[in-house]
Amino acid sequence: MKSKGSIGQLSQTGSEIEALCSEVKHSLQHLQKPFIKLQSLAAHGEGSGLTPEELGKLNRYLEDPFEAFSTETPGHPLLRQILLKLNRSISEGKLKLKPEKVRKAEQAIDNILNKNSLASLHQRCTDAILRKTRLSASEEVAIVQQDLSKLQGRVENMMRKKGIIETEESSIQRIHNETLEKIRNHKSEIEKNIFSFMGTQVHID
């Protein structure tokens, strides 16, 4: 099912999105710490310059970079505005960052703002999301999802029955073991009584 028709395409698109998630995180990795510092600056009202919309988007970039990036409009204007204000905060010394982190952050900002380094990645992300949305809404996928839902219900029912059977089996095994223990105790008691009364050592199988 995963390799045929719309289902196969949907599965392939899902794998593509996973790869894009990693690529987005990698592309923004040197901005992670500066973003956290800028978020803290904004939270304490210390002149980050971020609008409520930009701050909300910054929070999304920290929580889910792929979702934040892929839902940007072409040219990712919110990210660009955040980066401009991040760059200004760095220049004004408002963010406490190690020199190496500052250097890497400034390089990443320059690549995005002046070299448009994320344009191709953004296009691939939005294309993948649109393709996933279109495939998810297809009739073929809807039918398969209904079938899978029914099968899942059957599996859950079978698992419940399996659990009941295993509980009953465990109870039977426990009773069996207790019965064997009682038999062993009775045998031992009988053997002791015979030896006590008759002085004869016997062993009951």
Secondary structure string (H, E, C) spanning the chain = CCCCHHHHHHHHHHHHHHHHHHHHHHHCHHHHHHHHHHHHHHHCCCCCCCCHHHHHHHHHHHHCHHHHHHCCCCCCHHHHHHHHHHHHHHHCCCCCCCHHHHHHHHHHHHHHHHCCCCHHHHHHHHHHHHHHHHHHCCHHHHHHHHHHHHHHHHHHHHHHHHHHHHHHHHHHHHHHHHHHHHHHHHHHHHHHHHHHHHCCCCCCC
**Are 97 and 105 spatial neighbours (Cβ–Cβ below 8 Å)?**
yes
Instruction: Give CA–CA dist 174/183, Å, rounded.
Output: 14
Amino acid letter, residue 69: F
Is the predicted pLDDT of residue 1 greater than 70, yes or no? no
Instruction: Give CA–CA dist 78/50, Å, rounded.
Output: 10
Same domain, 153 and 121: no
Nearest Cα residue to 60 out of 81, 78, 86, 41? 78
Same domain, 118 and 200: no
Same domain, 133 and 146: no
Last residue of a domain, one of 97, 118, 137: 137
Range of the domain at 168: 139-205
**Are 66 and 125 spatial neighbours (Cβ–Cβ below 8 Å)?**
yes
Same domain, 31 and 104: yes
**Residue 65: is it exposed, middle or buried by C-beta count within 10 angstroms (0-12/13-18/19+)?**
buried
Is the predicted pLDDT of residue 2 greater than 60, yes or no? no
Structurally, the chain folds into a number of domains equal to 2
Q: How confident is the model at residue 5 (pLDDT cuts 50, 70, 90)?
A: low
Q: How far apart are the first and last CA of the chain?
A: 60
Same domain, 149 and 186: yes
Last residue of a domain, one of 90, 119, 137: 137
Last residue of a domain, one of 137, 152, 176: 137
Same domain, 99 and 129: yes
pLDDT digits (tens, 9 = 90+) for 111-162: 999 999 999 999 999 999 999 888 877 766 567 667 677 878 888 889 988 9
- Here the tokens at position 205 are 């199988």
Same domain, 199 and 185: yes
pLDDT digits (tens, 9 = 90+) for 68-84: 999 999 999 999 999 99
- Here the tokens at position 164 are 């009941």
Q: 0.85 cut: is pTM over it?
A: no
Same domain, 97 and 107: yes
